[in-house]
Structure 1
Amino acid sequence: MPIRNVNAATDAAAIAAIYAPFIADTIITFEEEPVSAAEMQKRIESIVASPLNYPYIVYENDDGKVIGYAYGSQFRVRNAYRFTVETSLYLDINEQGKGVGSLLYKELLKRLKDGGFHSALGVVSLPNEASQRLHEKFGFTKCCHLRESGFKFGKWIDVGMWELLLQDS
């Protein structure tokens, strides 16, 4: 199967390379400075070391190259939020529109549900029609619109939040 758990030591460079153009060229992330492979490895290790067992997965193509990744992470630090998770998904810019994102997201949501998380949140910089469509394809509904909550490339950016309940109440 081309989807597997991340290996922080061996996958960090590929993940940093996938992430880099989103930092440099888009509002998809509010990150503004490049992230080195070493820093990315630390971030991955921090997520997977969490006692809440957040999933962090990668998609490998037929040549064994990591072309996408997805993970769940802490939404807020207060303990009562522990069953709510923020989702993230990034694909190599040359691999978008081929269904890889849907495969990764489907697997991530399955792992989150199986892991006992109650709700998943997609936090989307706007506009981002592709991300909005992906979230809605998987049953997420828009629950929040934060006006001008980020500032990048000399302009204010809105953020929308999409939510999905993973478990029955």
Structure 2
Amino acid sequence: MPERAEVQVRPGVEGDLEALTDLYNHYVNETAITFDTALFTPEERRPWLLSHPVDGPYRLLVATGADPRRILGYATSSPFRAKPAYATSVETTVYVAPDAGRRGVGTLLYRGLFEALAGEGLHRAYAGVAQPNEASTRLHERFGFRHVGTYREVGRKFGRWWDVAWYEKEL
């Protein structure tokens, strides 16, 4: 893993689709961090990628290291809910490659994401964190998110129930 100074954060592009899909599929297959249960093909993930343009409130940022083709992680802001009155709220998320954790990649991604969102007319960011996930909880708290509630046993994956803690941040 490159040192933190070598990590570059940039907008995600269509050329990243395969690497982003592979990274997400790791979390689908190996963890309860996402409640998706079936692996995706890059073609199935294309609409997701295209829903995050370079500007506007819905962003996709990727982190790369010495090899710019290798995705170390990504962060997104997406619509919080579909109804029009929610338009000034976003849901944010971060995924870091399993071998790139605990090296500040998530911090760099969130810093870049929130800098990119400044001036977009947004009011709040929300994040759901499947429990337990101490690393994600610490990351969100470091960026000023505060715990606002927990949905108990809201998801079922790998034969067990999972809670999701919800966090909010004023933008």
Q: Which of 2, 7, 21 pairs up with 1:16?
A: 21
Whether the aligned pair in 1 keeps the contact of 2:57 and 2:77 (CA below 8 Å) is no
Percent sequence identity over aligned pairs: 37
CA distance in 2, matches of 1:112, 1:46: 15
TM-score, L = length of structure 2:
0.91
Greater than 3 Å deviation, 4+ residue runs = none
Q: Deviations over 1:125-164 (max 9, x none)?
A: 1111110000001111000111111111111111111100
CA distance in 1, matches of 2:23, 2:105: 14
Q: Deviations over 1:5-54 (max 9, x none)?
A: 1112x0110001111111111110001000111112221112339x9541
Q: Which residue of 1 aligns with 2:3?
A: none
Q: Which residue of 1 aligns with 2:162?
A: 157
1:48-59 superposed matches below 5 A = 48=53, 53-59=57-63
CA distance in 2, matches of 1:113, 1:155: 39
State whether structure 2 residue 133 is matched by structure 1 residue 128: yes
Whether the aligned pair in 1 keeps the contact of 2:74 and 2:94 (CA below 8 Å) is yes
Give the Å deviation of 1:102: 0.3
Q: Which residue of 2 aligns with 1:7?
A: 13
Whether the aligned pair in 1 keeps the contact of 2:91 and 2:125 (CA below 8 Å) is yes
State whether structure 2 residue 155 is matched by structure 1 residue 116: no
Pair 99,128 (structure 1): closer, same or farther in 2 beyond 3 Å: same
Equivalent AA in structure 1 for residue 8 of structure 2: P
Equivalent AA in structure 1 for residue 65 of structure 2: N
Q: Which residue of 1 aligns with 2:102?
A: 97
Farther off after superposition, 106-115 or 149-158: 106-115
Unpaired segments ≥5 residues, structure 1: none
CA distance in 2, matches of 1:154, 1:100: 31
State whether structure 2 residue 66 is matched by structure 1 residue 62: yes
State whether structure 2 residue 82 is matched by structure 1 residue 71: no
Unpaired segments ≥5 residues, structure 2: 1-6
Give the Å deviation of 1:3: 1.0
CA distance in 1, matches of 2:10, 2:53: 13
CA distance in 2, matches of 1:163, 1:111: 18
Q: Which residue of 1 aligns with 2:89?
A: 84
CA distance in 2, matches of 1:113, 1:142: 22
Q: Which residue of 2 aligns with 1:41?
A: 46
Count of matched residue positions in the alignment of Structure 1 and Structure 2: 164
